[in-house]
Structure 1
Amino acid sequence: MLGDVWLWVAVEWAPPTYLEFYARGGFDAPTVVALLVAALVKAALLWLILRAPAPGPLDRQAKALRRLLYLAVAYTLVLWYPIALLPDAVDAVFQLALWTAIDVLYLLVIRWRSRMLRAAAGAMFAVELAGMANELLDELDLPELGPGGIVELGLVLGGVAATIITVVGQRRDGRWSRGTLAAGWLSVGVYALVIPFNFLFERISSGKEAVLVMMGAVGLVGTVWIAATARELPAEGRPADLPPVRRRVIRVAVAAVAVLPVIALIHPEQTPHLTYTGWSMDCYDRPRFGDLEPAEHDAAFLCRARSTEGGVPPMFPDSLSDQAILAYGRALCRTKDRDEQEAILTRAGSARPAGGADPWDLVYVCPEIVGATHPELLRSSTETETAYTAHIAEENAKCRDPWPRTKAVAQATAKYFLFADGDHGYLVHDPGDEAADLAAEQAMDKVYDDNALIGVAGSAVLIGHVEDVSDLCLTVKAFRTAPPRRTAGWDQVNEVPIVSRSGRLAVPEMGEGGDVGAGAPMPNLAIAGKGRYRLRVYVRVDDAGQEHHLVVAFPGASRKRLELKP
């Protein structure tokens, strides 16, 4: 009746400032229902928390434990908000100090009736406190005990183990009622519920606020157990056991809390399995078909089918199950053209049906079909590297030195590979020059200034290609003096200046996995060290359409461009 603000404050016991964080536009119907149900649950649990302490004498250690336990209850209900206004490190120090004292008193006050059980309790308490200490180190920007994810998991598991062993100790002690022990076991169930909840929360498409509200209400079970532990500390006047009917109800509730999280993790076959998805880092590796075991092929296709690499939508929506995606993938393998693929992807609800599916993705689900037309996709990484090396060597062998009898100080002949969709040409440059990138850009801008297709800019010369080719045969030779011109048999011969500021002049080579550059190691053409050089560039195209280049370098101070043969 009073609106969302008052409903939130009444149920969540939190200032309305937190309302904006969870529901800026107001509550939807499921959240309102969850808040009303949570109000009843929390009212019942609060009644259990605020029951008066049991009468009876207490020694000094038991009194201290009771006060600290009630302080932990007060923190959960009230004190968390004013402490949250302080730096996070203050909260971490308070929690560590409080639970260190409580755990030590647990070891002293509870009658464990077994040295092994007491030692096990001490070990579990130490693990729990180590997790809290790690949080404090994180808040203080100090080196942590270990990776955050591992320590956080250890904290959760340590908390579960510490709670279990404490409840076992209370049962062996005999002071605490069945209701208190049941609250302890229920708090263990809440811990077990937190793990799958955190795992599934990011995948909940709607109703997040309702789930958070109910989780907050259920989380008070642990506070009920702490308050009941403090209330029943006196050895005399032990509360009477619960009636049989109430005991059965509590057992059913404990079993439900323990079993329901496990059931929530079991998906029906029509829902998508999210163990290998587009957000997995493995998807960016794109393993080759030949490197995977047969059992891994389907998972690799699912990864590619759900991948959002490059910011593009996935091939299939997350609403489809793994089985459905695999079936659609095999159907895509049997299509004859892109139109059929688009129809299948549209039927599957794809966000990009016009993109179709590529053979290197489909090979994982139908290798027998894709391999018939693209056998290279079936290779392993080793086989691919071997085939690639053999291909480069074969291409290099097709190129011959046009001046075989004229030996230079340094020389090499190889196939130079350009971009498949066209390239400006190749560079002869000084890679050690501080302005190497700028010189390369300027040379590229000047490459079309005249018909010679040679751009000159200080320490970089970009040599263009005559024909529309994707590769050419390149020979480079470095001489100490200018060799004879020998222009016969060449279509173009030009001579241009270049400077080496670091003592190097090189032609780019193909890098590891690269597609552009010389297919073999290229020598340093600046054989006289730093200084000015001349480049004489010979170009011709044979009857088969293969383009051949000869680049001759030698020291020379002239800055003129010479056209030796048009």
Structure 2
Amino acid sequence: MALLVAALVKAALLWLILRTPAPGPLDRRAKALRRLLYLAVAYTLVLWYPIALLPDAVDAASQLALWTAIDVLYLLVIRWRSRMLRAAAGAMFAVELVGMADELLDELDFPELGSGDIVELGLMLGGVAATIITVVGQRRDGRWSRGTQAAGWLWVGVYALVIPLNVLLGRIFSGNLAMLVALDAVGLVGIVWIAATARELPAEGGPADLPPERRRVIRVAVAAVAVLPIIALIHPERTPHLTYTGWSMDCYDRPSFGDLKPAERDAAFLCRARSTDGGVSPMFPDNLSDQEILAYGRALCRTKDRDEQEAILTRAGSARPAWGADQWDLVYVCPEIVGATHPELLRSTAEAEAANAAYFAEENAKCRDPWPRTKGVVQATAKYFLFADGDPGYLVHDPEDEAAAEQAMDKVYDDSTLIGVAGGAVLIGHVEDIADLCLTVKAFRTPPPQRTAGWDQVNEVSIVSRGGQLTVPEMGEGGDVGAGAPMPNLAIAGKGRYRLRVYVRVDDAGEEQHLVVVFPGASRKRLKLKP
């Protein structure tokens, strides 16, 4: 819709730009001004493309030379009817040209005339002031119509909107196609004003207008010269169309499939396909268009193994074809295929949270308190989830003592009991090769009975709480490790030293159960109560 509206607006503005010049005699200066103004129009519409192939300094120098000549002729041709107004116009034109000269120095890597946002803003406002005073001069002159003056004031209004947005919000329009198209159309307003200024230069009372047939032929010829090069610049569909890149701000979010509308899912896949998170190479190279990446993504969905994925990514020019593509990325382009084997990937955030909560509740319900009749001051029973073959065990620690946790991790394999002790942290290992275990924690004010019967291992160590807390890590948001239910603070007596007793057993079904008992105690001995 934005493209259609912009096309209509551009067509209307181009019609205004391509109107034939008004007839009438012109002196030498006015003729030169008209030609230079039409050159500025042609530069903006067509000539910018071949000049863009040259070094940027050439573009900046040509712009400076063109507008220096135009501004000088403005001072000589416009009937200002006031020396003060002409002097003010000269000052504003000078500021405008200083801004162009500053840009040229920057392109040539020479020291600039000024630096900092204040100087840049001042030069930009000088350019706006030059436009304003030119429109005022046109009004006092009397040769230019109200439509031409209105175009000039409208161009000033465009400046008034663009400058604060550019200074305060920077690249706010980056990646917004509709906004970029709208700004491109609005940019033609200034060209309409320049073309109208050139067209209405002759003095009043000139000779009769050209015949309608001749004017029509001239207008068609000018339109062809101006429009055909633009049409030639339209690239075919195979040219990369890059809507999203790995640096787009929207790509930092990773919304769930179920949270996205159908029209948003392709964009989510493009974000992942071009992502450079962690400094890794993107899945696809930057020279592929959105359409090509989406086609390759759907082809990856239909592969049967990693070898087929590697072949497709190699053909696409990927820098990491051996990595393949993950199902949680491909779900955005082929939910019907991925969802058949991984229905959990189709969930929304709310559905995923509800499913996780139900799963944790079910797993926690499988664990039973091994001392149901011995109530602690605080206690809890839950499933503790571990990485299979990856986690040595779980911590009972003072969260404020991070260094102790790392030391305990290093000491867990120093003893056959698989209990690492370091100040305010105790790391308790698991005896079976499992991914989770049932854990019960209890805190008492006095030492409870040992009750070692029915347990495979019972050990007692010392732990200190410097911050008044001792607890077991819980499952974090989006995490895979931790207790499946809230764990209490076991340091019921506040800061100080405690004794920590660990009971471990594996039942006939192969389920591992742990009981952790904590109570105040000054002893620093390590006791092996069983076996």
Asked if these proteins are the same fold (TM beyond 0.5), I'd say yes
Tell me the CA shift for residue 545 of structure 1.
1.7
Report the AA paired with residue 489 of structure 1: G
RMSD (Å) for aligned C-alpha atoms: 4.5
**Which residue is equivalent to 2:393?**
425
Aligned-partner SS, 2:171: helix
Distance of aligned partners of 1:420 and 1:40 in 2 relative to their CA distance in 1, 3 Å threshold: same
Measure the CA separation in 2 of the matches of 1:130 and 1:336: 54
Aligned-partner SS, 1:149: coil
**Which residue is equivalent to 2:43?**
none
Distance of aligned partners of 1:263 and 1:497 in 2 relative to their CA distance in 1, 3 Å threshold: farther
> 1:380-395 residue pairs with structure 2 within 5 A?
380-395=348-363
Q: 1:64 aligns with which of 87, 100, 113?
A: 87
Distance of aligned partners of 1:71 and 1:247 in 2 relative to their CA distance in 1, 3 Å threshold: farther
Tell me the CA shift for residue 518 of structure 1.
0.7
Aligned-partner SS, 1:400: coil
Distance of aligned partners of 1:300 and 1:473 in 2 relative to their CA distance in 1, 3 Å threshold: same
Q: Is the 8 A contact 1:472 1:548 kept in 2?
A: yes
Measure the CA separation in 2 of the matches of 1:97 and 1:42: 15
Distance of aligned partners of 1:458 and 1:406 in 2 relative to their CA distance in 1, 3 Å threshold: same
- Structure 1 window deviating more from structure 2 (38-47 vs 444-453): it is 38-47
Deviations 1:25-69 (A, max 9, x none): xxxxx9679999999999999888887986797522553366347
Tell me the CA shift for residue 501 of structure 1.
1.7
Q: 2:190 aligns with which of 156, 163, 168?
A: 163
Report the AA paired with residue 280 of structure 1: S
Report the AA paired with residue 147 of structure 1: L
Q: Is the 8 A contact 1:494 1:565 kept in 2?
A: yes
Measure the CA separation in 2 of the matches of 1:117 and 1:42: 24
**Which residue is equivalent to 2:113?**
85
Q: 2:441 aligns with which of 451, 458, 476?
A: 476
**Which residue is equivalent to 2:241?**
273
Q: Is the 8 A contact 2:128 2:159 kept in 1?
A: no
Stretches of structure 1 that go unaligned for 5 or more consecutive residues are 1-29, 139-145, 182-231
**Which residue is equivalent to 2:30?**
none
Q: Is the 8 A contact 2:92 2:126 kept in 1?
A: no
Report the AA paired with residue 81 of structure 2: D
Report the AA paired with residue 283 of structure 1: C
Distance of aligned partners of 1:72 and 1:546 in 2 relative to their CA distance in 1, 3 Å threshold: same
Measure the CA separation in 1 of the matches of 2:220 and 2:372: 94
**Which residue is equivalent to 1:106?**
135
Q: Confirm or deny that 1:450 pairs with 2:415.
A: yes
Tell me the CA shift for residue 383 of structure 1.
1.6
Measure the CA separation in 1 of the matches of 2:424 and 2:411: 14
> 1:148-547 residue pairs with structure 2 within 5 A?
148-149=170-171, 160=187, 163=190, 166-167=193-194, 171=196, 177-178=198-199, 264=233, 267-431=235-399, 433=400, 436-547=401-512
Q: 1:125 aligns with which of 156, 161, 167?
A: 156
Q: Is the 8 A contact 1:525 1:553 kept in 2?
A: yes
The TM-score with structure 1 as length reference comes to 0.69
Q: Is the 8 A contact 1:83 1:91 kept in 2?
A: no
Aligned-partner SS, 1:110: helix
Q: Is the 8 A contact 1:124 1:158 kept in 2?
A: no
Q: Quote the sequence identity (%).
A: 62
Q: Is the 8 A contact 1:128 1:162 kept in 2?
A: no
Measure the CA separation in 2 of the matches of 1:275 and 1:470: 43
Report the AA paired with residue 87 of structure 2: A
Measure the CA separation in 2 of the matches of 1:328 and 1:56: 61
Tell me the CA shift for residue 132 of structure 1.
5.7
Measure the CA separation in 2 of the matches of 1:401 and 1:114: 92
Aligned-partner SS, 1:357: coil
Distance of aligned partners of 1:481 and 1:127 in 2 relative to their CA distance in 1, 3 Å threshold: same
The TM-score with structure 2 as length reference comes to 0.73
Deviations 1:116-137 (A, max 9, x none): 98688557536636766888xx
**Which residue is equivalent to 1:141?**
none
Measure the CA separation in 2 of the matches of 1:379 and 1:307: 22
> 1:4-15 residue pairs with structure 2 within 5 A?
none
Distance of aligned partners of 1:77 and 1:254 in 2 relative to their CA distance in 1, 3 Å threshold: farther
Distance of aligned partners of 1:70 and 1:296 in 2 relative to their CA distance in 1, 3 Å threshold: closer
Q: Is the 8 A contact 1:417 1:472 kept in 2?
A: yes
Report the AA paired with residue 171 of structure 2: G
- Structure 1 window deviating more from structure 2 (323-332 vs 520-529): it is 323-332
Q: Is the 8 A contact 2:139 2:149 kept in 1?
A: no
**Which residue is equivalent to 2:37?**
none
Distance of aligned partners of 1:94 and 1:337 in 2 relative to their CA distance in 1, 3 Å threshold: closer
- Structure 1 window deviating more from structure 2 (404-413 vs 82-91): it is 82-91
Tell me the CA shift for residue 345 of structure 1.
2.3
Report the AA paired with residue 169 of structure 2: P
Measure the CA separation in 2 of the matches of 1:39 and 1:122: 28
Distance of aligned partners of 1:564 and 1:263 in 2 relative to their CA distance in 1, 3 Å threshold: farther
Tell me the CA shift for residue 326 of structure 1.
3.2
Distance of aligned partners of 1:499 and 1:159 in 2 relative to their CA distance in 1, 3 Å threshold: same
